[in-house]
Amino acid sequence: MNGGDGGDAAAATAGPPAPLEWKFSQVFGERSAGEEVQEVDIISAIEFDKTGNHLATGDRGGRVVLFERTDAKEHGRNRKDLEKMDYPISRHPEFRYKTEFQSHEPEFDYLKSLEIEEKINKIRWCQTANGAVFLLSTNDKTIKFWKVQEKKVKKISELNVDPSKVCSAASSMVSSSPKQYLSNGSYPDRSHFSSRNDGLPDGIHSLRLPMITSGETSLIARCRRVYAHAHDYHINSISNNSDYETFISADDLRINLWNLEISSQSFNIVDVKPANMEDLTEVITSAEFHPTHCNMLAYSSSKGSIRLIDLRQSALCDSHSKLFEDQEAPGSRSFFTEIIASMSDVKFAKDGRHILSRDYMTLKLWDINMDSGPVATFQVHEYLRPKLCDLYENDSIFDKFECCLSGDGLRVATGSYSNLFRVFGCSAGSTEATTLDASKNPMRRQIQTPSRPARSLSSSITRVVRRGSESPGVDSNGNSFDFTTKLLHLAWHPSENSIACAAANSLYMYYA
């Protein structure tokens, strides 16, 4: 299914590298047979940090879950560090659950009478400092800046007294003292105290003041800042700048620039809202900063175009410095052309030279120095083209699939239906095109799930399931399509061939 169009690729090599052999590594949160997936548990965002030692996921319930790398390979740990580990050393990238916290809660906008979901739309890691990790998370309206740090748990040490004797002594004091005080108006006599020199009641030999001790550590997540009330429409992207001081947030019509230290105000740098909303022809679908140039960023649109803007040109960047769009073949236009051309995700390669975009049917690789068209196009699920009508009826055609690139720029990946994800080689002459079922693990016994309709990811899909036209099937080439299961979110490790992908509430890890 690889449809490379030719041209230069992400990296110049003597020859295309051999295709990778992908293997299952781990799974988190997999449901057991017959277990229903709760809507709030469905993963909606995945992100590796720059080191690849931490992984974060966000879900529709507003929670952020953090995982940390546990294998010691190539991580510079000495023998003493290895001896302290409470987990085995693995031969492949391995993560373990670290902590989780509630990032967002459901809200209600009383001015607009709108419910604001707690679902996490995006997560972005920030610079680490003093052993603490920082990250940004956002739902439709509000961005939050979180600090996660190990803190020693403080507790009060126990007093070295016999509880029974303390109670008896205390009760005798309480029972006798008030009577004497009430009868004669004077303080009670001290006859019930012992004549010991320490002045303590009978039965109490010594007494210590409570002491606070700190022993074991616990991970604490604290919200440092809240960036709110800056978007009238749903936030679809946040992206950190390479200056480590600013970040952008994008909704359908605007892109705002924030300073991490200032949550009370932002600067609007892109505004595509027309004077008359009836003249609106396209919306912003994704935005990302250049990985090394702090003055450049790119954003994609629902018309299938990418705009590169330079913050040095003007304060308001309504005019782009470069426009990238693919010319459609003559005579190929149909009712679905504009819908499937809408880009759902855009990512810069690590070198900043190339941009990867994902529309409904394809992955496209662009060279920022060549705006005549993509340098490579990869067909993700071309076998679904005859079924666009069905996909439109059940709203699946509006699903937003993410994409990612390997750290070396030699491969790209994205998801599809039936929990499939696809990996393509994008170096010159490469024909690599691998398809894997993320939820199928050859290393463990397969559990037969009872025959029942899968929990849909949207109410529109549920409607189609009831109609009976949503059942999984196989086309003439043997490709399966099940619109109720889809792999929308995935991330590539920044320096290794390792992919984390989400299928419903499960996080699957693969390596090569």
- Please state the φ and ψ torsions of residue 371, each to the nearest 5 degrees: -100, 15
Strands of 397-456 (E only): list them.
Answer: 403-405, 411-415, 420-425, 433-437
Query: Torsions phi, psi of 305, nearest 5?
Result: -115, 155
Chain segment 288-315, per-residue pLDDT in tens: 999 999 999 999 999 999 999 999 988 8
Give the burial string for 128-157 (b: 16+ CB within 10 Å, else e): beeeebbbbbbbbbbbbbbbbbeeeeeeee
- pLDDT by 10s per residue, the chain, length 512: 444 444 444 444 457 888 899 999 999 988 776 778 889 999 999 999 999 999 999 999 999 999 999 875 444 444 445 445 444 455 678 899 999 999 999 998 888 888 999 999 999 999 888 889 999 999 999 999 999 998 877 777 666 555 555 555 445 444 444 444 444 555 555 554 444 555 555 555 666 667 777 777 788 999 999 999 999 999 999 999 999 999 999 999 999 999 999 999 999 999 999 999 999 999 999 999 999 999 999 999 999 999 999 999 888 888 888 999 988 766 677 889 999 999 999 999 999 999 999 999 999 999 999 988 999 999 999 999 999 999 999 999 999 999 999 999 999 999 999 999 999 999 888 899 999 999 876 454 333 333 333 333 332 222 222 222 333 455 545 555 678 899 999 999 999 999 999 999 999 999 99
Contact 490, 45 (CB under 8 A): no
Are 296 and 278 in contact, with CB atoms under 8 Å apart? no
Instruction: Classify domain 23-156+213-511 at the CATH topology level.
Output: Methylamine Dehydrogenase; Chain H (2.130.10)
For the CA atoms of 378, 384, 386, 388, the dihedral, rounded to the nearest 10 degrees, stands at -100
For the entire predicted model, the pTM comes to: 0.77
- E strands present in 332-402: 345-348, 354-358, 362-367, 376-379
Give span(s): CATH 2.130.10.10, the chain.
23-156+213-511
| Alpha helix positions (H), 292-376 | 337-341
Residue 186 carries which side chain, given as an amino acid letter?
A: S
* Closest to 289 measured CA to CA, from 230, 234, 232, 249: 249
DSSP 15: S
